[in-house]
Amino acid sequence: MVAFLASFAPVSADEGVFVPNYMDPRERIAAPDIQMLPRIRFITTVDFPPFSFLDQTSRLAGFHVDLARAICSELEVLARCQIQALPWTELPGALKTGQAEAIISGMAMTPESAEEFRFTRAYLTLPARFAARKEDAGTEASAQTLAQKRVGVIDGTAHEAMLRDWFPDIKPVTFSSHEWMLDALKAGKIDAVFGDGLQLSFWLASQSAEACCGFLDGPYVSRTHLGEGLAIAVSPRNARLAVAFDHALAALNRNGRFAELYLRWFPNGLY
């Protein structure tokens, strides 16, 4: 059972939000020469907020968009850097046919996808979290206090499987609707909920939550249930580009730029 997501301790931001760091600050990844590439086109989608979406002016925005630009800036190729949105189903084909150099859209790293693409190291993992009413939540509260209590979870999801596998003393209450589950928590019909930390973080800060609740314990990550994390995919023939991206990601973690982007798009934190 893993309580923190990164291999190394997260960095605490001024706001009290923990920023993950997946890179060893002592490691130096040599930057391969990519100056011969006439273009570095990232492709993403418009339906994955806050990672990538169309803003009020119909411009592509989000964490992934800013991260791609920061990587290009770090590699000193910003003038040749492009970011394009495509439907999710068209992303793999565009990469394979050379219409783009990289996918930055939360593609899962699986044994199957690893045979088709070369991935960078993970730059972010979406953890599972518990949320409870404020009188039961807080950093001092432990998941052990939920033993024999009713905890809501979405039916048939990886989070349900994880809850049952990791917390056998908890009584899962399954829901088919995220909204119904959260309404049940607010009404006191269940003692807590267990689910995606990203969704829960935005709900906790929303008006619909009515300041009722907060995170309890965690975060929790499981490669078996939740995967390896978010990474950038490139074509196997562009393996040098993946190493260059890893170099840039490590540098962005060291110089604080990654933390800046994380806090901009995830002000309430996931961890």
CB atoms within 10 A of CB 92: 16
Specify the 3-state DSSP secondary structure of 207. Answer: helix
Contact (Cβ atoms closer than 8 angstroms) between residue 177 and residue 152: no
**Options 3.40.1280.10, 3.40.47.10, 3.60.15.10, 3.40.190.10; CATH of 128-226:** 3.40.190.10
Query: CATH 3.40.190.10 residue ranges in the chain?
Result: 11-125+228-265, 128-226
User: Is the per-residue pLDDT at 183 higher than 50?
Assistant: yes
| Residue 191: per-residue pLDDT | 96
Specify the 3-state DSSP secondary structure of 240. Answer: helix
| Residue 195: per-residue pLDDT | 96
CB atoms within 10 A of CB 11: 17
Residue ranges of alpha helices (H) inside the chain are: 63-74, 91-96, 111-116, 158-166, 178-186, 197-204, 223-226, 239-255, 257-265
Encode pLDDT of 230-265 as tens digits. Answer: 999 999 999 999 999 999 999 999 999 999 999 999
Q: The tokens of 102 are what?
A: 């990289």
pTM of the model: 0.83
Bridge pairing between strands 11-12 and 52-54: unpaired
Instruction: Give the residue among 216, 213, 217 at the shortest CA–CA distance from 133.
Output: 213
Encode pLDDT of 214-235 as tens digits. Answer: 999 889 999 889 888 899 999 9
As a whole number of angstroms, the distance between CA 263 and CA 15 comes to 9
Specify the 3-state DSSP secondary structure of 145. Answer: helix
| Residue 262: per-residue pLDDT | 93
Instruction: Give the residue among 37, 96, 111 at the shortest CA–CA distance from 72.
Output: 37
| Residue 32: per-residue pLDDT | 84
The CATH architecture one would assign to domain 11-125+228-265 is: 3-Layer(aba) Sandwich (3.40)
Residue 186, amino acid: K
Exposed, middle or buried: residue 4 (CB in 10 Å: 0-12, 13-18, 19+)? middle
